[in-house]
Amino acid sequence: MSITVRAPAKINLHLGVGAAREDGFHPLVTVYHAISLYDDVTAVAAEAWSTPVDGAAYVDLASVPAGEDNIAVRAGQLLAQRHGLSRRAALSTYKSIPVAGGMAGGSADAAAALVALDRLWGTGTPDDQLLALASRLGSDVPFALLGGTALGTGRGEIVEPWEDNGAWWWVVVPSEVGLSTPAVYRHWDALFPDAPAEPPPAHRLVGALKTGEPLRLAAALHNDLEAAAIDLRPDLGALIEKGQAEGALRGLVSGSGPTCVFLCAGAEEARAVAAGLAAEHPVVLTAHGPVAGAHVLPDA
């Protein structure tokens, strides 16, 4: 028996960052948004953990760690421990989410593994307990379970669904070279040593998401980490300008980058912006959101 679970990439419509806490984490007020770019994890019972990985040509599969360094295995171990089981599994992953792109691909795999193994093992873990396990695995893992559009607080792990009446179209441009999330936060600390403890709120987004109007959303998008990411990688600033010149309503760095995302007026406009950027960038994707969180796929 095998169970396949699909989990989405996230982008941040709002990423407000506060000064680092004593435990080293930065408090966040973020609005997560799940887009139609997915990783699929297939779980099969096995004697030992294994993580065969395959994926789209643009995904740097060589940088996905194997075995117990893979976050999907850590998710499986945590679920087994929670239920007092000594089971293991093969977790085969097909990745379409760029690695180290600021789109939480590893978190998607962890969420998918939790849902797949819970089904495979028949452990029937209640949703609130799955969310609690997810938050121990990483800040973005609970959102990968939830999907849609959601407010994230704490270090991003406390999630609450938000009303979103839009059907938003995005152009996504991954970078050939990754950007380390801790390095971006360190640079943000250096750039803004007097940042307030309280992250800026996301009030403007509430109305924009309710109306479903792309121009309203474009005006409300916000990423506190963008300045730090562009300072480390000035090419990202040039890419954002180019995408906007090609007709995107707004471009911004996704999370800590280096992936950049462009909000477009609709599907046709997204295809036109993608075509304009494709001349200079080897990988340009289009996606829509919001989409569902980790969910079991029907048998093929």
Strands, E, within 145-294: which ranges?
Answer: 149-153, 158-161, 168-173, 222-223, 250-253, 260-264, 285-289
Per-residue interface string for the shown chain with ligand ATP, residues 201-240, x marking contact by CB under 6 A: ----------------------------------------
Min separation Cβ 89 and ligand ATP, Å: 14
Residue 256 interacting with ligand ATP (CB under 6 A) = yes
Min separation Cβ 225 and ligand ATP, Å: 10
The 3-state secondary structure of 119-146, one letter per residue: HHCCCCCCHHHHHHHHHHHCCCHHHHHH
HSE of 67, CA atoms in CB hemisphere, 13 A: 2
Counting residues that bind ligand ATP (by CB under 6 A) gives 20
Catalytic positions are 10, 140
Residue for token pair 């960052």: 17
HSE of 129, CA atoms in CB hemisphere, 13 A: 10
Beta bridge partners of 141: none
Residues numbered 1-60 forming contacts with ligand ATP, rule: CB under 6 A: none
Task: Please identify, using beta-carbon distances, which residue of 72 and 252 lies nearer to ligand ATP.
Answer: 72
Q: Which stretch binds ligand ATP (CB under 6 A): 62-70, 165-173, 260-268, 285-293?
A: 62-70
In order, the DSSP letters of 54-97 are EE-TTS-GGGSPPGGGSHHHHHHHHHHHHTT---EEEEEEEE-S
Binds ligand ATP (CB under 6 A): choice among 20, 25, 44, 65: 65
Min separation Cβ 72 and ligand ATP, Å: 5
Min separation Cβ 84 and ligand ATP, Å: 25
Task: Return phi, psi of residue 263, to 5°.
Answer: -80, 130
Per-residue interface string for the shown chain with ligand ATP, residues 86-105, x marking contact by CB under 6 A: -------------xxxxxxx
Paired tokens of 222? 């916000």
Paired tokens of 104? 């939480």
Per-residue interface string for the shown chain with ligand ATP, residues 153-192, x marking contact by CB under 6 A: ----------------------------x-----------
Residue 142 interacting with ligand ATP (CB under 6 A) = no
Min separation Cβ 271 and ligand ATP, Å: 25
Q: How far apart are CA 224 and CA 220, in angstroms?
A: 13
Binds ligand ATP (CB under 6 A): choice among 57, 63, 86, 126: 63
Q: How far apart are CA 97 and CA 84, in angstroms?
A: 32
| Binding footprint of ligand ATP on the chain (CB under 6 A) | 63-65, 70-72, 99-107, 109, 140, 181, 255-256
